[in-house]
Amino acid sequence: MHTRLILAAALASVFCGCGETTSKDPATAIAAGAGLCASYNFDRAAEHFAAARMLAPAGSEAWLQATFGLAVCRQQEVPIELPRVAEAAALFKEVVEKGGASPLAAQACLNLGRIAELRDTSADTPDLEEARRWYKQVVDTWPDAAIAGEASLRMGVTWIQSLERKDVEAGIAILEARAARPNEPWAGALWKQAGDAWWVNLGDRANAVRCLGRCIEAGHPDPSRAALTVWRAAKLADESGDRDAALGFYRRIIERHPNSGMAWDAQQRMRELGVEPPPIKLAVMPEEKKA
């Protein structure tokens, strides 16, 4: 499960150190729990976090770390069971209530939104309104933190997934407003999601091209798929009659993504549009350099 990988990595980065030695010292127990989470051993990690939670003063940084870690373990233990997910949600809420402006409180808010938004088991029922409340709390409480960009992305998607035009437009508005902030670290992902929604959900080529172009400028959230986004922007611009934009995207594919498999097609289309394309200069891959 992708969420399991993300949360395990987050724990490993937040709680430095590792090991499995039980201790009366909360920091040692937390480090041991984080080390076990890094190998997805959530049930054993939970024992260490629970011990640290008992040892640390309530509301202290160590207590927040232990409570957050225990919540992650309860949420991720397999098989996924709704009572354990409910226990995780209650623990995350304790982190929010006692964490103040702590980054862990912000992450706990975001995790509560994800619990409300996603279906953990076939018997689970997503609550999109509840998810939006938690995401909005992140944005309102930590407006200048990077996590607010992620919360805006998640919040926008909760509207888009309803598929109703007014809701999709509301979701896109959230995405674009956050993406337009100066130096927004989540800009690429926000513009990409907005562009996809404009085209896939609303069939609006012009706005899709505009947003996908901004995604490309800001930096694609998944560099391995950047060429595909440039190609989609090129084709949408071409289909909508925006010749200049289409030529710019085709040229970018040839110059920035020569090994993508789309460079030759981009050259051909540029010629059809009456412009001589630049040559394809294939990049030498690391393996080829060693040979």
For 155-183, give the DSSP string.
HHHHHHTT--HHHHHHHHHHHHHHHTSTT
Domain coverage including residue 7: 1-142
In a domain, 123, yes or no: yes
pLDDT, tens digit (0-9, with 9 covering 90-100), for 174-199:
999 999 999 999 999 999 999 999 99
Rounded CA-CA distance 70/92 in Å is 9
pTM here is 0.87
Q: Name the burial class of residue 38, with classes exposed (0-12), middle (13-18) and buried (19+) by CB atoms within 10 angstroms of its CB.
A: middle
In a domain, 202, yes or no: no
Two tokens, residue 271:
């010629």
Read off the CATH number of the domain in which 19 is found.
1.25.40
The alpha carbon of residue 149 and the mean position of all alpha carbons in its chain are separated, in whole angstroms, by 9
Predicted confidence at residue 17, as pLDDT, reads 42
Rounded CA-CA distance 84/291 in Å is 52
Q: How confident is the model at residue 10 (pLDDT cuts 50, 70, 90)?
A: low
Predicted confidence at residue 24, as pLDDT, reads 75
In a domain, 103, yes or no: yes
Check if the beta carbon of residue 29 is closer than 8 Å to that of residue 54. Answer: no
In a domain, 246, yes or no: no
Strand residues in the chain grouped as ranges (E): none
Two tokens, residue 33:
């729990």
In a domain, 150, yes or no: no
Lowest-pLDDT choice from 7-21, 73-87, 174-188: 7-21
pLDDT, tens digit (0-9, with 9 covering 90-100), for 35-50:
999 999 999 999 999 9
Residue 118 φ then ψ, to 5°: -95, 155
Task: Count CA atoms closer than 13 A to 152's CA, side-chain side.
Answer: 31
For residue 223, say if its preceding peptide bond is cis, omega within 30 degrees of 0. no
Rounded CA-CA distance 153/193 in Å is 8
18 has pLDDT over 70: no
Number of domains in the chain: 1
In a domain, 114, yes or no: yes
Tell me the C-alpha to C-alpha distance, in Å, between residue 62 and each of 85, 102, 274: 22, 12, 66
Check if the beta carbon of residue 268 is closer than 8 Å to that of residue 237. Answer: no
In a domain, 72, yes or no: yes
In a domain, 99, yes or no: yes
Max Cα–Cα distance, the chain, nearest Å:
75
